[in-house]
Amino acid sequence: MQATPTTADLEARAASRFAQYRKITDRSFLLALFGMAVPVVVALMERSAPPPLLAVATAGAALQFVLYMRLVRAGLAGRVPWRDIAVSGVLAAALAWMTVTSPVWAVIGPFWASGVAVCLSSHRWLVALSLGGGVYWGGLTTLAVHADGRRVHWFTPPIMIAIYVAVFAMSLYANLVLKRMWEMHQEAHAAREAQARLAVAEERLRFSRDLHDLLGHSLSLIAVKSELAMRLAERDPERARAEMADVRGAARSALREVRAAVRGYREVELDAELAGVRAVLEAAGVRCTAGPPPPGLPPEVGSTLAWVIREGATNVIKHSTARTCRVSVVSYGGSVVLEMTNDGARPGRGEGSGLTGLSERVGVLGGTLTAGPHGRDGFLLRAVVPLGEDA
């Protein structure tokens, strides 16, 4: 039997999915960090520079990786850490000179710019980063080629600059896509929460509107008739009695309308009570499974069973050390049978006033209610209510 999900279940699942996607986003940026770190480690292992310079470059690269993650986390949170941007920019520009010793160090530039792009997502900044980074790192690479003893042609600098501009642009775009996906997930999560709040607000508005429509006219009539009866009480008692009779009729009519409206609300009360009981018990540390009730139950039967479930859940929390609870509502042999079982029942638990009141409620519908020990340390609450010939 499939359990009915509660509002708490749905919220927990949404929060879990949100947290899981946050982890996926963080791991995606960490993977990019790893991809940038590997070439730098390879360059350090080549020992193409004096040991003191390599030691300084290693410390600078480690700090750059830390600043990259700080930039990413700040950007995902919607902040612009100007100090980290400036420090990491100066550090990246300094580390870029290591390109003279090994071309692998050129990855530091696009790596730094991709972290900044998460914080500064305007097109103006992205174009400036791509062009500025392309010119600076393209020029350094040309210088590194010249320092290596190879011939530098007149077209080498523009080609290098164009290549680096393209590399910078692709790095920026990749991180911006990840950031946009994260923002879209945030927006979807916020939209689901807003939708849930709106549904609750609309239900409250509907309930208040129904009560106003039902009682507004009747209460106004009762107030007017009562005031008139007070004025006529001494000079025209017969007319006053007639007015009070009208007041009594209006009150009874309003009561009937309210009962009819409440009966309509109670048609879904059993489903709501099952969901609410699951949420309450699980919040108290009791694992609760509850299957959906059979469809088409008469309103008075559903309402009575909802009261049984509510009282049963209260007793589970107050009179047991339960870890599990199971609720089932099934139709059987022209009756509907509700069973609520839990473990951890305390010895000497008897029938209290709450169960006595439930027995009276169930008895009005011609049903029976039993409660007592079940198994080694369990407790069983069972209600059987006939459905009638037309059910």
* Domain shared by 248 and 294, yes or no: no
Q: How far is CA 265 from CA 163, 202, 262, 277, in A?
A: 69, 15, 5, 18
Radius of gyration of the chain (CA): 37
The pLDDT of residue 391 is above 50: no
Concatenated DSSP letters of 59-91: HHHHHHHHHHHHHHHHHHTT---HHHHHHHHHH
Note whether residue 210 is domain-resident: yes
- Using the 3D structure, point to which of 216, 231, 266 is the last residue of a domain: 266
Whether 121 and 179 have beta carbons less than 8 Å apart is answered as yes
Note whether residue 391 is domain-resident: no
Question: Looking at residue 250, which CATH number applies to its domain?
Answer: 1.20.5.1930
Output the pLDDT for position 382.
Answer: 93
* Domain shared by 79 and 123, yes or no: yes
- Long-range residue pairs from 363-367, CB within 8 A, at least 24 positions apart, any chain: 364/304, 365/300, 365/301, 365/304, 367/304, 367/335
pLDDT digits (tens, 9 = 90+) for 129-140: 888 887 888 877
* Domain shared by 211 and 137, yes or no: no
Q: How many CB atoms lie within 10 A of CB 267?
A: 13
* Domain shared by 47 and 166, yes or no: yes
Question: Looking at residue 280, which CATH number applies to its domain?
Answer: 3.30.565.10
Note whether residue 196 is domain-resident: no
pLDDT digits (tens, 9 = 90+) for 262-275: 665 555 468 878 88
Note whether residue 98 is domain-resident: yes
pLDDT digits (tens, 9 = 90+) for 280-308: 787 777 888 888 888 888 888 888 888 88
Output the pLDDT for position 150.
Answer: 67
Q: Report the pLDDT averaged over residues 354-358.
A: 78
The pLDDT of residue 61 is above 80: yes
Note whether residue 312 is domain-resident: yes
* Domain shared by 248 and 335, yes or no: no
Percent of the chain's residues with pLDDT above 90: 7
Note whether residue 92 is domain-resident: yes
* Domain shared by 217 and 308, yes or no: no
Q: pLDDT band at 113, cuts 50/70/90?
A: confident
Note whether residue 99 is domain-resident: yes
Note whether residue 42 is domain-resident: yes
* Domain shared by 166 and 220, yes or no: no
Q: What is the dihedral of CA 102, 106, 111, 112, to 10 degrees?
A: 100
What's the pTM?
A: 0.48
- Using the 3D structure, point to which of 132, 156, 191 is the last residue of a domain: 191
* Domain shared by 164 and 244, yes or no: no
Output the pLDDT for position 279.
Answer: 77
Q: pLDDT band at 3, cuts 50/70/90?
A: very low
DSSP code of residue 5:
P
> Could you list the residue range(s) of the whole structural domain that residue 252 is in?
204-266
Output the pLDDT for position 171.
Answer: 83
DSSP code of residue 122:
S
* Domain shared by 84 and 123, yes or no: yes
Output the pLDDT for position 5.
Answer: 47
* Domain shared by 51 and 171, yes or no: yes
* Domain shared by 242 and 379, yes or no: no
Q: Which amino acid is at 21?
A: Y
* Domain shared by 238 and 140, yes or no: no
Whether 276 and 6 have beta carbons less than 8 Å apart is answered as yes
Q: pLDDT band at 38, cuts 50/70/90?
A: confident
Strand, helix or coil for residue 149: coil
Domain count, the chain: 3
- Using the 3D structure, point to which of 191, 214, 232 is the last residue of a domain: 191
